A and B are shown apart, each in its own frame.
Chain A
Amino acid sequence: MRPSRRTPVLAAFATFVFAWLLTRTSWLEAALKWAFPTEVSWLHPRADLVSLTVEHLAIVAISSGLTVLVGVPLGIWVTRSSGRDFRQLVAASVDLGQTFPPVAVLALAMPVLGFGFKPTIVALFLYGMFPVVSSTIAGLDSVPTSTLEAAKGMGMSPMQVLFRVELPLASRIIMSGIRTSVVINIGTATIGATIGTGGLGVPIIGGLATRNMAYVVEGALPAAVLAVLIDVLLGQVEHGFAVPLQEADSA
């Protein structure tokens, strides 16, 4: 979506409406009752939608936060002279992280880390790594060599070149990678419910287990809306990094 001046207002309004609807589950129950009249129960009994959504967001925030904290520095490192030799290795590894199914990661991590939160965080952390690392590398690669040459020739230290020139110029591309990673994780985080992590996956997995389609929709619908909302919100942040709107460094 191409952000316009009204997009932030619309996004804030949509977020508000979504939050409000989460607290008014009677609407949802009525709708699900109408859609699935043969079921006997329409809302998953474990927890209300608000706490499930908060749980879900916490899982995504922690895993994506770790991904960014590790992925961006990793991308920076392999574009420095000290890490250049590892560039292929790192690119291949994060590629593998994305192709390796998260469910398999859960299965492999569970014996070591047990049930619950931790294996899910590990699976999502690895799964979201690829867009972050590859966009960091692509963003830093996109900085023109003439700009780097000028920065160096004028007497900037390597750190100054990185923070004053490279990262500001790469920020938009890096941000788009982070956005992709987060949105993927919002959807993928639902599988955590298979090993008791909580979140919006609980009604989905519960519904699949008991063949209750109303539960599945109860979890899937907010997860999908959440993904779209976060995508738009992060898109706004990304747009804010557009050159030359960024004037923070101007004298």
Chain B
Amino acid sequence: MIHLDGVTKRYGDTVAVDDLTLDVAEGEVCVLIGPSGCGKTTTLRMINRLITPTSGRIMINGQDASELKAEELRRSLGYAIQSVGLFPHLDVAANIAVVPRLLGWDKPRLRGRARELLELVGLEPEQYMGKYPRQLSGGEAQRIGVARALAADPPVLLMDEPFGAVDPLNRGRLQGEFARIQRDLHKTVVFVTHDIDEAIRLADRIAIMRDGRLVQYDTPETILDNPVDHFVRDFVGSDRALKRLVRVPVRDVMDTAPPVARRSAGAKEMLAEVGRTRFVYLVDEQGRLTGWLDRAQLKGGCTVEDALSDADPAQVAVRPDASLKEALSRMLGLGFRSIAVVESDGRLVGQVTLGSVEGAMTESDEHQGARPAEHMAEYSAEDTSDDSVLESIASDDQGDCT
């Protein structure tokens, strides 16, 4: 789909990109990564001719990019950048519709398309169509930047650190959404980042660059398992086992039948459930996570209401699109042995346990012939509470609670 052939860019004596040859197959996500100044952004900008190569050829869909009119070429390549660059004087709908407008679409079609794309990036169309960029949060603006790049349904997307300017939590979410969108749309994507986790999570192939040269161009698995040299090994980092977890979405390993009780059902039912499982998630009538009850917190003299914990799903749960690494790091951060999985509307759809993380790690370790990680056993701590405590609470709802 995209073929770079001996592409070089020189600025005076400095060589920004040095004889780069790279093939991006149709429907694949190619992530360009490397330390700053390695030429990754220059390479991306040569594809849509914001920068003219000094020498070499760039073919897009069998056509020499330099033979097309620059404006025509750019309209056929979706473009999203870190600074987003939304037009402050246009509302969200008009911002999304910029390229279709350049292509001469009529008004009803433009609005319909804007609506469709807002839904695709997970923003409520009625609420967002008429907003202006200054009224958006960083994450919303970046979503609209992606929607704008997709507006004219270009076969190719060029993305220059599109999620670079948001906080890590939002970035993880945007990456998950991008992965979901890409599963449906199968665009050919060239994606620049300096975040190796992002590259491993999103890429079909990663192109690691250094000093304008391509060092290794492989699938994330191959790069993790067989880095070609010290530079790549250092760049990928020492936590390669953890990095593999980045590739696994929570959705694929979650337990879809977590222990759950409806809060409205009352103390008795909650206690019955927690008696069986030690730990139970509490949900409201709509199935949304509202808290949990842990047997360990049921000490003598406590009421159930005192012992249960309220949950803020943003803090103590992950989305199905999140990576297993994110789920693991949240579990470790919170000191939990499991974490709830909730949809964007707060509905509890499953849980991930340390056991399932271990399972996923073992699987990928076996895949490459290594020993299973035994140290994970440390986390399966003893069950400290006993049933007599439960009974004392069930019979006596009074008393002080520490």
**Closest chain A CB from B15 CB (angstroms):** 23
Whether a CB of chain B sits under 8 angstroms from the CB of A111 is no
Assess whether A154 is in contact with B86, with CB atoms less than 8 Å apart.
no
Q: Which of B30-38, B77-85, B318-326, B343-351 contacts A (4 or more CB under 8 A)?
A: B77-85
* Cα distance, A168 to B87, chains bound together (Å): 10
For window 160-195 of B, CB contacts with A under 8 Å fall at none
* Cα distance, A117 to B50, chains bound together (Å): 51
Q: Enumerate chain B residues within 8 angstroms of A154, measured Cβ to Cβ.
A: 74-75, 79, 98-99, 102, 148
Q: Which of A121-129, A145-153, A227-235 contacts B (4 or more CB under 8 A)?
A: A145-153
Whether a CB of chain A sits under 8 angstroms from the CB of B107 is yes
Assess whether B107 is in contact with A251, with CB atoms less than 8 Å apart.
yes
Say yes or no: A150-B84 contact (C-beta < 8 A), given A155-B72, A155-B75.
yes
* Cα distance, A7 to B48, chains bound together (Å): 49
* Cα distance, A246 to B91, chains bound together (Å): 10
Assess whether A155 is in contact with B74, with CB atoms less than 8 Å apart.
yes
Partner of B90, one of A144, A157, A249: A249
**Closest chain A CB from B296 CB (angstroms):** 51
Whether a CB of chain B sits under 8 angstroms from the CB of A43 is no
Q: Enumerate chain A residues within 8 angstroms of B111, measured Cβ to Cβ.
A: 251
Nearest residue in B to A249 (C-beta to C-beta)?
A: B90
Partner of A247, one of B79, B81, B87, B91: B91
Whether a CB of chain B sits under 8 angstroms from the CB of A21 is no
* Cα distance, A244 to B135, chains bound together (Å): 10
- In which size bucket is the chain B interface? 20 to 34
Q: Enumerate chain A residues within 8 angstroms of B274, measured Cβ to Cβ.
A: none
* Cα distance, A125 to B57, chains bound together (Å): 53
Query: Chain A: how many interface residues by the 8 Å CB criterion?
Result: 24
**Closest chain B CB from A237 CB (angstroms):** 16
Assess whether A150 is in contact with B90, with CB atoms less than 8 Å apart.
no
Nearest residue in B to A143 (C-beta to C-beta)?
A: B88
* Cα distance, A243 to B73, chains bound together (Å): 31
Assess whether B89 is in contact with A146, with CB atoms less than 8 Å apart.
no
- Interface 0/1 of A118-144, CB less than 8 Å to B: 000000000000000000000000001
Assess whether A153 is in contact with B50, with CB atoms less than 8 Å apart.
yes
* Cα distance, A251 to B110, chains bound together (Å): 7
Say yes or no: A243-B89 contact (C-beta < 8 A), given A146-B83, A155-B99, A250-B94.
yes
Say yes or no: A169-B86 contact (C-beta < 8 A), given A155-B99, A157-B71, A244-B132.
no
Q: Enumerate chain A residues within 8 angstroms of B86, measured Cβ to Cβ.
A: 147, 150
Assess whether B85 is in contact with A251, with CB atoms less than 8 Å apart.
no
Say yes or no: A249-B89 contact (C-beta < 8 A), given A153-B48, A155-B102, A160-B102.
yes
Q: Enumerate chain A residues within 8 angstroms of B148, measured Cβ to Cβ.
A: 154
Whether a CB of chain A sits under 8 angstroms from the CB of B93 is yes
Partner of A146, one of B48, B71, B85: B85
Whether a CB of chain B sits under 8 angstroms from the CB of A156 is yes
**Closest chain A CB from B159 CB (angstroms):** 11
Whether a CB of chain B sits under 8 angstroms from the CB of A165 is yes
Q: Enumerate chain B residues within 8 angstroms of A251, measured Cβ to Cβ.
A: 93-94, 97, 101, 107, 110-111, 114
**Closest chain A CB from B321 CB (angstroms):** 27
- Interface 0/1 of B53-84, CB less than 8 Å to A: 00000000000000000011111100101011
- Interface 0/1 of A148-181, CB less than 8 Å to B: 1111111111001000010011000000000000
**Closest chain B CB from A88 CB (angstroms):** 24
Assess whether B72 is in contact with A151, with CB atoms less than 8 Å apart.
no
Most chain A CB neighbours (cut-off 10 Å) among B97, B102, B107: B102
Assess whether A152 is in contact with B50, with CB atoms less than 8 Å apart.
yes
Assess whether A250 is in contact with B81, with CB atoms less than 8 Å apart.
no
Nearest residue in B to A158 (C-beta to C-beta)?
A: B71
- Interface 0/1 of B101-133, CB less than 8 Å to A: 110000100110010000000000000000010
Assess whether A144 is in contact with B85, with CB atoms less than 8 Å apart.
yes
Partner of B87, one of A147, A153, A155, A157: A147
Whether a CB of chain A sits under 8 angstroms from the CB of B134 is yes
* Cα distance, A243 to B133, chains bound together (Å): 10
Say yes or no: A150-B91 contact (C-beta < 8 A), given A251-B107, A251-B111.
no
Assess whether B50 is in contact with A244, with CB atoms less than 8 Å apart.
no
Assess whether A169 is in contact with B72, with CB atoms less than 8 Å apart.
no
Q: Enumerate chain A residues within 8 angstroms of B132, measured Cβ to Cβ.
A: 243-244
Assess whether A169 is in contact with B88, with CB atoms less than 8 Å apart.
yes
* Cα distance, A151 to B134, chains bound together (Å): 18
Q: Enumerate chain B residues within 8 angstroms of A150, measured Cβ to Cβ.
A: 79, 81, 83-87
Assess whether A156 is in contact with B71, with CB atoms less than 8 Å apart.
yes
* Cα distance, A146 to B145, chains bound together (Å): 12
Q: Enumerate chain A residues within 8 angstroms of B114, measured Cβ to Cβ.
A: 251
List 9 A-B pairs, Cβ < 8 Å.
Answer: A144-B83, A150-B87, A151-B85, A165-B87, A169-B87, A244-B88, A244-B91, A249-B90, A250-B93
Chain A positions within 8 Å of B, measured between CB atoms, are: 144, 146-157, 160, 165, 168-169, 243-244, 246-247, 249-251
Known: A151-B85, A250-B91. 9 other contacts (CB 8 A): A149-B85, A150-B85, A151-B98, A153-B79, A153-B158, A156-B98, A168-B89, A243-B89, A243-B132
Chain B positions within 8 Å of A, measured between CB atoms, are: 48, 50, 71-76, 79, 81, 83-91, 93-94, 97-99, 101-102, 107, 110-111, 114, 132, 134, 148, 158
